[in-house]
Amino acid sequence: MTERDDDCRHLTWPECIAGYVDCELDAAASSRVEAKLQVDAASREAVEAQRAFAPSNSLLWSRVEPPAPSADEWNRVKASVIAAAVPQYAAWRTSKTRLWRYLLAAIVAVPASVAAAVLLAMSIMHSPNGANSPDAGKEPNAEVFAVLAPHEVEIESVRNSDIPLLVVGESPFQGGVTFVSYTDVKVGPVQPDSDGMVPQVEIGNSTSTPMIYAPLARVP
């Protein structure tokens, strides 16, 4: 046996043996080494000697290749990956949509709330029963009927003798009666009444008040 073997071309024989033991040779070189080991006892002893360095790891000396996955296994893996990825994407999209919804809701709700608060504040400020009222801040008593405030009712007609009896509302008679002077009024057409009576038009002057006067019928 020569120091350099033709079967392992660029390696020495011990390197070739070591390469064989370590499964580093290609299939053709391994076949040639195994063929040589059939006839060369010294080479077999060298192989055994190198493998004997770690008998407990003899399993490591054999080539281990994981089995190639089948098409079904590939499909299951692919399905698992998609199943795991799609919900996350959907959740991400949902969360993003929710974020926009929240943002839009905030954009709409905040100004609306401020506007409502401004209106409420203005109505309270302009209300005589508002913040300046002594009753402001008190809980409304549900058993007490609400009474109209004076400004909330308008008295259109009332007998003057009943004015002191008004509970709410302002009397239409505010006092202070000023009659027209002759320069304040210009009387136009005066129609006769159903019985033909035409009232007298008193124009007045600087010392008298103008008025319309309908005389009572004289009893003959």
Interface with other proteins includes 88 (CB under 8 A)?
Answer: no
Interface with other proteins includes 182 (CB under 8 A)?
Answer: no
- Min dist CB 123 to other proteins, Å, is 10
Q: How far is CA 141 from the centre of its chain?
A: 38
Between helices 13-21 and 41-51, what is the axis angle to 10°?
Answer: 50
- Min dist CB 193 to other proteins, Å, is 4
Interface with other proteins includes 28 (CB under 8 A)?
Answer: no
Taking CB under 8 A as the criterion, the residue among 152, 180, 203, 205 binding other proteins is 180
Residue located via tokens 């350099």: 4
Q: 33: buried, middle or exposed (CB in 10 Å: 19+, 13-18, 0-12)?
A: buried
Interface with other proteins includes 185 (CB under 8 A)?
Answer: yes
- Min dist CB 99 to other proteins, Å, is 13
- In this structure, are residues 19 and 11 in contact, taking their beta carbons and an 8 Å threshold? yes
- In this structure, are residues 177 and 161 in contact, taking their beta carbons and an 8 Å threshold? no
- Min dist CB 126 to other proteins, Å, is 11
Q: What's the distance, Cα to Cα, between the start and end of the chain in Å?
A: 178
Taking CB under 8 A as the criterion, the residue among 90, 104, 119, 149 binding other proteins is 119
- In this structure, are residues 190 and 199 in contact, taking their beta carbons and an 8 Å threshold? yes
Q: How far apart are CA 143 and CA 184, in angstroms?
A: 54
Taking CB under 8 A as the criterion, the residue among 134, 164, 192, 220 binding other proteins is 192
Instruction: Closer to other proteins by CB, 41 or 216: give it.
Output: 216
Taking CB under 8 A as the criterion, the residue among 1, 28, 64, 217 binding other proteins is 217
Q: How many CB atoms sit inside 10 A of residue 20's CB? A: 23
Interface with other proteins includes 53 (CB under 8 A)?
Answer: no
Q: How far apart are CA 25 and CA 22, in angstroms?
A: 8
- Min dist CB 122 to other proteins, Å, is 7
Site of interaction with other proteins (CB under 8 A): 106-107, 110-112, 114-115, 118-119, 122, 155-161, 171-173, 175-181, 184-194, 197-199, 202, 204, 208-217
